[in-house]
Structures are given as C-alpha cells and as structure tokens.
C-alpha cells in the first residue's frame, strides 16, 4: 500500500523555493477559467454548457455541497488502500475517465492525449463512440493499460454489433451503454453559437472507419464526406429501444455490460432483471434532461434498490477529492470524471489531463485519511450528514 496523496503533495512542495513559473493549475475553478481563455466560444460552451436552463447542472454541484463529511479521529490511517475490484479486475483507484466525445475540438492531442494520460496513471479510459480517432488508434497508444468502450447504440443494428466486435478485438474490457442520449438535448448555448461539431467532421471517427457504416453509403466517406456525415445524423441514436432490446447486446458481446444514465430506482431494478453487470448513476453532467434530479441525490435511492447485487458507479459533478469520498460513502463503487479532464486537456493536452486526475487522486486519498478512513472499500454513510434545506 502506498499513500499516493502524500507523495503527490510533497512532490509539489519539494519544488520550493523555485517552483516552475509555468506550473499548471491545481483548483478546478482555475482549470475552467484557463480553458475559457484558450477555447473559442463554440467548443468552450459545448463542453461547459448543459441542457435548457442548466438547472440540473447546478443541482449536481448543489447535491455534493449539501452532504457534509463528519470526520472520525484516532483510527490509524497511516497505511491506506485506494484500489477497487470491478468486473473481476483490480484497479488502482476508484476513478475512471468519463466517456467524452469530440475531444478534438478541445485540443489537437484530443482522445489520444487523454488516453495516454490515463494509461500512465492506470486510470481506465472510457473511449466514447463519438471519438474523433477510431477506437483501434486509442487502443494502440494505451498498450496494456485498462480501457472500456462506451456504446452509442445506433439505430442500425449492424453498426452497433460491429462496434461491439471492434471493441472486443482491440482490448476494451467492458461496454458502457449510454441510455440517456438517444438524441441531443435542447442545448441553448450550442443553438445560439450555431455549433454542432459533428457537422464539421469531429467525433465521427468510429463511424467513418466502420465496415457496417460504410457499406450503407453510396460513395466512400473520402469521396463524399458530407453524405457520410448526413447518414451519421440519421443512424447515430435510437429512440425506439426498450428493455427487451438488451438481449441483442448480450448476444453480441461477452464483455461486462454497464448501463450509463440510470437515475430511477425502478430502472436500476429493471437493469438487474435484465442481467446487466453494472450501472452508472448519471444525468450526463446535466446535458440531457434539464430539471432532472442531481446525480448524487439519485445515488442512495438507486443503491437502496440495488442492494449490492451489482456494482453502482456514478458521475455528474465530481470536481475534487471530497466529491469522490462522498459518492463512495453513498454507495458508489467508483466515479467517472468528466469536465475536469476536459479543462485539463484544453489547457495542457495530455499533461493537463494527467495533472487533473493525479491531483484528484491525491486530494481523495488525503481527504479519506483525514476523515478517519483507511480504505475506499470501507466508506459508508456513517461519515456523512445531509444538510436539509
Ligand atoms: C463535452 C462532453 C461530451 C460528452 N460525450 C459523451 C459521450 O460521448 N458519451 C457519453 O456516454 N457521455 C458523454 N458525456 C457525459 C460524460 O460521460 C459524463 O456523464 C459527464 O461529463 C459527467 O458530468 P460532469 O462532467 O459535470 O462531472 C459528455 C460530456 C461532455 C462534457
Ligand atoms: O455532447 C454530449 O454530451 C454527448 O454525449 C455526445 C453525443 C454525441 C456525440 C458526441 C458527444
């Protein structure tokens, strides 16, 4: 067991009295501010914005604020354990890189920069269906490092099956099926900025290289890129799916299937009935249903329904170490980090993503210790109280 938090913290102080004048930000707020400076309006608001009036985006952060940690003392926290087991594999930290599409709009290193940063840290990278470079290229730069694939379940079953086949063949070890985005939400910033990255060829790398997708086109994507993108807009999502359709996924992959975007306890029960391997409590960072429940508010209700039968992960609002601790204490086995990684990518590419994740891990480890806890697997509600407003 290594106490990673203290190592990273001392690593910073050891640069005294001559700290690097170009050192990267530490606080989430400063990363976001710096990202705002380097990005144009279109890409910045695509990342930072949410659906409608952004009430759910606010609810996500508010929910974290309402829960308060009540630290315990004199509990020997000298040696700590941050590792978790998920779907039969061990991971060093209860943290994953959330699936994020169109990373090429944020930095030229795009998906590959993020994937490399994750590989260096052993943080699983969840490659989005909407990556700009194909999943095989991402796999190539990651070597043996852990990676999962996020499926946008296409209207065309041949494309969905082909994506599953390709993910399995290129070493992804779980399939994250995102259920909350069969279509893009009403996003007011993007409408005002008239900004939709796919229409300029970003985020369609998996599709344009896919044999099933290309077989449906009259001309190849090289010959007629516009027709290929127009076809993408028709087949990207599938609003007609029902619970019974999950059998299709089970038939086409041996990998663990994890449903992302669960908020209702009854849906968590349906997920278990349909034999999935895990769920992710998420409202997509407030980017889909404006007015939806804050993800952290949904988490304990979902965990009550699941009763430990399958692992529950969560995302939407994780900004610093104490957020990770709160989510784990409320029943999440691990969390996904979304926008913070994107601000790191915007500011400093691979180095930025690595710094954001490393700092969050350090902050999490130190906060756990100071709360009187030794293992991420032993966190529970006994160290939390909820402020009622
Ligand atoms: C720019 C952007 C693109 C995203 N693209 C995807 C995607 O392709 N697939 C997916 O499942 N979720 C996607 N998400 C949602 C994230 O996986 C995650 O649920 C969300 O970022 C969590 O909220 P937070 O970033 O506020 O913590 C995206 C989020 C952002 C900000
Ligand atoms: O923008 C998003 O939130 C998202 O999930 C998405 C959907 C399709 C392509 C790229 C990103």
Rounded Cα distance between 111 and 138, Å, is: 7
384 occurs within a structural domain: no
Domain of residue 170 covers 51-69+92-277+299-371
Distance CA 49, CA 29 (A): 15
pLDDT per residue over 320-336, tens digit each? 999 999 999 999 999 99
Token pair recorded at residue 289: 């249903």
Alpha helix stretches (DSSP H) within 283-383: 295-306, 321-329, 339-370
Q: Is residue 379 part of a domain?
A: no
Structure tokens at 136: 């095989």
Nearest CA to ligand 2 atom 3: 287
* Residue 381 belongs to some domain of the structure: no
| Across 173-193, average pLDDT | 98
Residue 96 included in any domain = yes
Ligand 1 pocket, residue 175 CB under 6 Å? no
Average pLDDT estimate for 182-204 = 97
| Confidence category of residue 116, pLDDT binned at 50, 70, 90 | very high
Whether omega before 375 lies within 30 degrees of 0, making that bond cis, reads: no
**How far is 2 from 60, CA to CA, in rounded Å?**
32
Give tens-digit pLDDT for 295-328: 999 999 999 999 999 999 999 999 999 999 999 9
Residue 91: strand pairing partners = 84
% of the chain with per-residue pLDDT over 70:
99
Domain assignment present for 183: yes
For ligand 1, is residue 317 a contact (CB within 6 Å)? yes
Q: CA 163 to CA 169: how far, in whole Å?
A: 10
Helices (H), the chain: 4-13, 28-38, 41-48, 55-66, 110-121, 135-142, 157-169, 188-193, 205-208, 211-215, 225-235, 246-252, 265-273, 295-306, 321-329, 339-370
Cβ atoms of 69 and 383 closer than 8 Å: yes
Instruction: Report the pLDDT value the prediction gives residue 387, as an integer from 0 to 100.
Output: 86
Catalytic residue (choose from 62, 97, 274, 284) = 284
Render the burial of 291-326: b for 16+ CB within 10 Å, e for the rest. Answer: ebbbbbbbbbbbbebbeeebbbbbbbbbbbbbbbbb
Q: What element of type H or E holds 148?
A: strand 147-151
CA separation for the pair 347, 286 (Å, rounded): 23
- Note whether residue 268 is domain-resident: yes
Residue 387 CA to residue 389 CA, distance in Å, equals 6
Check the CA dihedral 213-219-223-224 and report its sign: negative
Q: Is 252 annotated in the active site? A: no
Q: Which of 76, 59, 71, 94 is nearest to 385 (CA)?
A: 71
pLDDT in tens, 256-266: 999 999 999 99
Question: Can you give the pTM of this predicted structure?
Answer: 0.98
User: Residue 389: pLDDT above 80?
Assistant: no
Q: What digits encode the pLDDT tens for the residues 123-166?
A: 999 999 999 999 999 999 999 999 999 999 999 999 999 999 99
Cα of 225 vs centre of ligand 2, distance in Å, is 20
Q: How far apart are CA 182 and CA 236, in angstroms?
A: 8
Check pLDDT > 80 for residue 250.
yes
User: Contact 334/95 with Cβ under 8 angstroms?
Assistant: yes
List the structure tokens of 299.
């988490």
Q: Report the domain count for the chain.
A: 1
Which mutation among 285, 290, 292, 315 tests ligand 1's pocket best, with the greatest number of atoms within 8 A of CB? 285
Task: Give me the CATH number covering residue 267.
Answer: 3.20.20.70
Pocket test for ligand 2, best of 131, 177, 184 (most atoms within 8 A of CB): 184
User: Minimal CA–CA distance to 151: which of 237, 230, 79?
Assistant: 237
Give a yes or no: residue 103 inside a domain.
yes
Q: Does 106 score more than 70 pLDDT? A: yes
Convert the pLDDT of each residue in 49-69 to its tens digit: 999 999 999 999 999 999 999
For the residues of 226-287, what is the DSSP string, one character each?
HHHHHHHHHHS--TT--GGGHHHHHHH--S-EEEEEE-SHHHHHHHHHTT-SEEEE--GGGT
Q: Is residue 23 in some structural domain?
A: no
Complex confidence, ipTM? 0.99
Query: Does the pLDDT value for residue 388 go beyond 90?
Result: no
CA–CA dist 332, 362 (Å, integer)? 19
pLDDT of 2 reads: 59
Binding site, annotated residues? 46, 99-101, 128, 150, 152, 178, 187, 260, 282, 284, 287, 315-319, 338-339
Residues in binding site for glyoxylate: 46, 152, 187, 260, 284, 287
């Amino acid at each position: 067991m290594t106490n990673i938090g203290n190592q990273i913290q001392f690593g910073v102080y050891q640069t005294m009295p001559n700290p690097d004048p170009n050192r990267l930000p530490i606080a989430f707020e400063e990363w976001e501010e710096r990202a705002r400076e380097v990005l144009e309006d279109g890409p910045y608001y695509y990342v930072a914005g949410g659906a409608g009036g952004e009430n759910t985006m606010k609810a996500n952060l508010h929910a974290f604020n309402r829960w308060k940690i009540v630290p315990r003392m004199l509990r020997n926290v000298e040696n700590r354990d941050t590792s978790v087991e998920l779907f039969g594999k061990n991971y060093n930290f209860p943290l994953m890189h959330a699936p994020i599409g169109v990373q090429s709009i944020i930095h030229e290193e795009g998906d590959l920069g993020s994937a490399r940063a994750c590989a260096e840290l052993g943080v699983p990278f969840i490659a989005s269906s909407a990556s700009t470079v194909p999943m095989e290229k991402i796999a190539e730069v990651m070597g043996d490092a852990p990676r999962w694939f996020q499926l946008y379940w296409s209207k065309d079953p041949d494309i969905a099956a082909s994506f599953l086949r390709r993910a399995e063949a290129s070493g992804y070890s779980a399939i994250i099926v995102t259920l909350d985005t069969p279509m893009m939400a009403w996003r007011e910033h993007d409408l005002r900025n008239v900004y939709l990255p796919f229409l300029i060829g970003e985020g369609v790398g998996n599709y344009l290289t896919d044999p099933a997708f290309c077989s449906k086109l009259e001309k190849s994507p090289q010959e007629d890129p516009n027709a290929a993108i127009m076809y993408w807009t028709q087949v990207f999502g599938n609003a007609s799916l029902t619970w019974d359709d999950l059998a299709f996924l089970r038939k086409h992959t041996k990998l663990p299937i994890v449903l992302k975007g669960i908020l209702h306890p009854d849906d968590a029960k349906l997920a278990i009935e349909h034999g999935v391997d895990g769920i992710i409590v998420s409202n997509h960072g407030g980017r889909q249903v404006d007015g939806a429940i804050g993800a952290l508010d949904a988490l304990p209700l979902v965990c009550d329904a699941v009763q430990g039968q399958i692992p529950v992960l969560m995302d939407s609002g994780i900004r610093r170490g104490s957020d990770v601790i709160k989510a784990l204490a409320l029943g999440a086995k691990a969390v996904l980090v979304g926008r913070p990684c994107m601000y790191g990518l915007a500011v400093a590419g691979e180095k930025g993503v690595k710094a954001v994740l490393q700092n969050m891990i350090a902050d999490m480890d130190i906060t756990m210790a100071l709360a009187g806890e030794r293992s991420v697997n032993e966190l529970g509600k006994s160290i939390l109280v909820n402020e009622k407003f």
